Every structure is written in structure tokens, then in C-alpha cells.
Amino acid sequence: MSPSICTSSVPAEAAPAPAAGPALNGHSAAADGTGPSTSGRAATSPVDWSKVRLGVDPAPTMFVANWSAESCCWDGGQLVPYGPLQLLPAAQVLNYGQSIFEGMKAYRQPADAPTPSTATATAQAAPAPAPAPAPAPAQAESTSAQNGDQQHHQDEHQDQHEHQQQPHHRVLLFRPEANAARFEAGAARMCMPPVPPEMFLAAVHAVVRANADWVPPSCRGSLYVRPLLLGTGPLLGLCPAPSYTFVVYAVPVGGRAKEGRLAALDFLIHDSLHRAAPRGVGSTKAAGNYSPCLVAQAQARQQGCTDCIYLDARSDTYLEEGSGCNVFAAHGRVLTTPPAAGSILPGITRASLLQLAGALGYEVREANISVDDAMAADEMFASGTAMVVQPIGSITYKGRRVQFAAGSSSCSSAAAAPAVAPAPAATANGAASSSSDAEGDADTPSTSRSSSSCASGSSSLDAAGGLLSYGYSTGVVSLTEAQRRALEAAAPEPEAGSLPAGVGPVAQRLYGLLTGIQYGRVADPFGWAVPVDMSGPTEGELHLDRLLPVVEEEEEAEAAEEEEVGAEGGADGSTAAPVTKAAAAAGGAAAKRSSKAHAVFADPNLE
């Protein structure tokens, strides 16, 4: 499906859009699949993990598919060696930034994971460190890290041996259908031809399957999968690209936590820059949303912090999100996160944590968090695909710094979070101090809002609220009492004083539970963990266009023809009316398809 203005807006002198395939040894991959190709398993099995730079070295195989205005559809795509894409300087994405992306992970299930015992559990999870690119370790940890180098290498060799023994079907994806829905919604918002979820999921499974040996050993890391949609066709003028490229590649990444123990980071609440504005694209995973955050991050580091939290652009009063993460504040057993209502990305990890917290008995709210509310919190943390759960050790706002969870203990208070209240000089578990004391020692159920509050977009309007729904929500999930008890047993309340400074009990419990489900050692009553399909091809053409629904244009034409024949029996014998009806029928069908691709986002804050 093409953007309706695509064919009419492309200048006549624009060069024909070449397929943006990967360049292989200086040559582009053959469109018919005859070019050089290999699979990850054939090229790199077994992987020597002692030589792999986690978070740097890409897996050897990627997926590429192309869309053109001439065909108005996606080709079948192919698995090719990871390599450069051929782009002209006039490519739309290079000049006007028409690009979206996703981030997701594949996890290797440990060999000793129990098999599913119920239909609701699609996988079991692992007690494990968070699979995410790890920042530089804190200086306080450097000595212990050096002392453990020898043991680390021994563990690495053992992990490599176990990795080679594990069958390829023991690889899980976490909620890939949610990424597919968000990707489709983002394309509609950016006036790009959506990648149908069937094609998205098949491409992701194919890339993980082809690079199965590049999924790190269980509990040591994960395979980060990055789908991209790029406006690669050349043009000079602000309009949709004449052609697009859908790419999926992967990079193995390491775990953030050591032995499941998290480390807190310090955040700055930025008071002069905004990440997104109402009615903008803050709820879309557009590439252009992220680089503008770099200057804010640099300013945060100058004040001894690792990252920053942005305030809402309307009032400069309420927390929105970090540079690439959602944020949470806990007041006793009340967990609050800002509502994803147009300017905040509805994170998939965010949605999962809200549902897990509800299952653990916390009161969950999607509501505004003022700066005063944040400074009065017992603990704060961030969430995202890369970081999973990141405890926030302190926040700094206009020179005032508040620390959280100093000498953490289990919070049992049932007090509700304040609406808007002045922050005291010291929080329940921490104390305020000046910004000069900030330390940058290291480097995202009942609800007060309905599940539609996290909706931001898809290819069709939500009939109830006028929002575009991603197809996943933060609403309460119905679990049996046995399932709830199992989740609570897998994430018990931490003992008083057992957590590192800055790490609160809510963050620790949710981190352990979510990573447990992701790795397959905790029973998954939600059906989030999806086994990777290992039965398909690992190189060459995939013919994914055969998965896509075909518009029944022939049936539409036949129906119009029948109307024309029926109208020919008119008294004056005129054929003008049937011709008009046929044109209207064809035009109406085209308009319907076009409107589906061009649905716009609505912001409930402004409705």
C-alpha cells in the first residue's frame, strides 16, 4: 500500500529508485537472489565468544526487502550477508529523515529449563542478568571485576561448551507481535508503506534463525534484533520517498547486571530542553527523535549524571520519559508511570512491567508525575528493551539532588502516591543534597487510566476513543491464583538491607521476574515468550510477499461490471450512469485502502 501522495508528489525529473540492497565486495546483491549469500550458522558455527565484542560485532546475516511506487507492494525479501546498503545522496532518508526502527531481543533458553506444563505458558524463563548493552562498570566495581577475570574466562569456556550443545529451537523472542504492531503504526505516522505484521514477524524469525549460533549462552546476554524502515528512494523535495527498504539485522549484546544484581544510575531532570511536543511524533519510534537527546545527555554528564528525564512541553511540570526509556516512581506499594498519551513512546517493556506489577499486588497507575512527586518517591527506575529495568539512584533538578533507596529495604506501605505535593527536604529512603555532591559513578492491579492510554497508533482507528491502538495494552491480565502465587514465589520481597544503594525492591523484583520470563526459567502465564521458528531457510530468497493479503481487485471490477450491466436497461439507454458507478466503486476502494495507510495519531490530552 503506498502513501496516496507518493506517485503524485515525486518530481518528474527524479531518477528511478534503485533497490537499496546490500553492497557485497563493492557490488550490490542481485535482486533475483543469485548474488553471494550465506547463513549465520554456516559461516560462523561454532562462535568463539572470547573473540566476539558484544554490542559491537554484528551477526553475519541480515534481511532486506524493497518497496517501489511502481508495484505499490513489498517484494519477497532475502537473507544476505550483513553489509552496506546502496544509497544515493538524494535518498529521502538522508535529506528528510523518513525512517523508523524497532528494538527487540532473542534469548537462548537454558538447557535445564523445565518444559511448559500448561497451555498458557509458551516458555519458561531464566533467573538471569538483564540482556542489554552494558555501560562502563562503576569504578567501585573495577577491583572486584579484575579479581574475577580468571573465573570469568573459565565460565566463558563452560558457557561456550553449553552453547554448542543447545539445540537451535531453544531460542525465544519476547512479545514480537507488539513490535510488529508498533512498527506498522510508526510507518503510518511517518507516511511510509506499512510492513504487514505477517511479513515483519517472518523476517525477524528468519534473521534469528539464520544467526542462531550468534545468540549468546543463556544468562550471559542476548541477540539484539534491529528492524529498520527507510525511505531510500531519491528525490529533491519534501514528500514521501519513491521507494523504501525494510532491513532486519542483529548484534549479540551482553548482560547489564552481574549475578542478577542491579546497579543504580543518576538522572538529571532537564529544565531547558524537551524531547517531544503534543501532537508531534514522540509516540513514534522515529529515528529523528533520538539524536537531539545527545546534547541533553552531554549536559547531564556535566552535572555528574548519566542520563536525563524530560518534562512535558506544555507546562514544564510533569515527568515524561528519558532519552530512550520510560520512567516509574514508587510510593510504597503504589507504582506510577506517566501516561503514554501522544508524546511518550508506549514502551513494550513498560507495558509488561505494569502488568507484572499488578500481578504482584502493587497498585498500578498511569498518571502524571510532577517533579515534587518524583522527589518524594521511595524509589524510581527506568525501563526499555536494552536496559530492561534500570534503577535510578538519584535525580537532580535545578541544583537539588535527591537520592533513592539508600540502604534499600522492602517497602510495605500501602500509602497512595501524592497528587501534587511539595517535596520534603528528604525522601523516605534518601536525603537531599546539593548538585555538587552528585556522583557519576556509572555510565528505561488497578489503574487510574484504561488500557487505551498506552495506545499510539496502528493502521486503523480505535472506535472507542479515536486513538490508534498498537494491539497491546497495560490493562489488568486475568490470572489464576496459582499463577499469581508462582510469580510471587519467583520474585520474593528482598530482605532488608540486601540491595545495593539506589536499587529499590520494586525494581529488583520486576527485573528478576521479567528477565526470568524472557530467558525461560519462570513460567510465562502471559504468553509473551515466543519460540523462534527454526524450520525455514537461512539464506537467499524468502518470498514473504506470498504471506501478504491480496486485494481482491478482480472481484471489485466484477461487481462494478455487474452494476454497469444492470443499469444498461434504463429507459434512455444511457451508459453514462454505469460508467460513473464503476469509477466510483474503484475510487472508493482505493480511497479506503489509502485512508487505512494514512491514519493520523490523536492526542487525548488535546481532545
What is the distance of C-alpha 513 from the center of its chain?
Answer: 19
Q: Which of 371, 350, 191 is nearest to 281 (CA)?
A: 191
- Alpha carbons 514 and 383: distance in angstroms, whole number: 11
Distance, CA of 363 to CA of 334 (rounded, Å): 5
CA 54 to chain centre: 20
| Residue 466 grid cell | 479515536
120, 215, 466, 524 from 123: Cα distances, Å:
9, 17, 35, 6
Question: CA 416: distance to chain centroid?
Answer: 30
Q: What cell numbers appear for 98 in the block?
A: 523518513
The candidate with the shortest Cα–Cα distance to 133, out of 48, 56, 37, is: 56
CA distances (Å), 241 to each of 12, 35, 180, 356, in order?
Answer: 13, 26, 22, 41
Q: Which residue has the cell 510510593?
A: 331
Between CA 251 and CA 197, with CA 204 as vertex, the angle to 5 degrees is 140
Q: Which of 43, 104, 6, 151 is nearest to 386 (CA)?
A: 104
Distance CA 493, CA 606 (A): 40
Q: Are 63 and 77 in contact (CB under 8 A)?
A: yes
Phi, psi dihedrals of residue 77, rounded to the nearest 5° = 75, 165
> Exposure of 16 by Cβ count < 10 A (0-12 exposed, 13-18 middle, 19+ buried)?
exposed
Q: Which of 285, 581, 592, 596 is catalytic?
A: 285
Active site residue 581: no
CA max distance for the chain: 98
CA separation (Å) from 405 to 35, 38, 234, 503?
57, 50, 53, 6
User: Which burial class, exposed, middle or buried, applies to 295 when counting CB atoms under 10 A from its CB (0-12, 13-18, 19+)?
Assistant: exposed
Distance between CA atoms of residues 20 and 272, nearest Å: 40
CA angle centred on 372, ends 314 and 508, rounded to 5°: 105
Q: Which single residue is written with the C-alpha cell 504482584?
A: 360
What whole-number distance in Å separates Cα of residue 107 and Cα of residue 215? 7
Residues labelled catalytic: 285
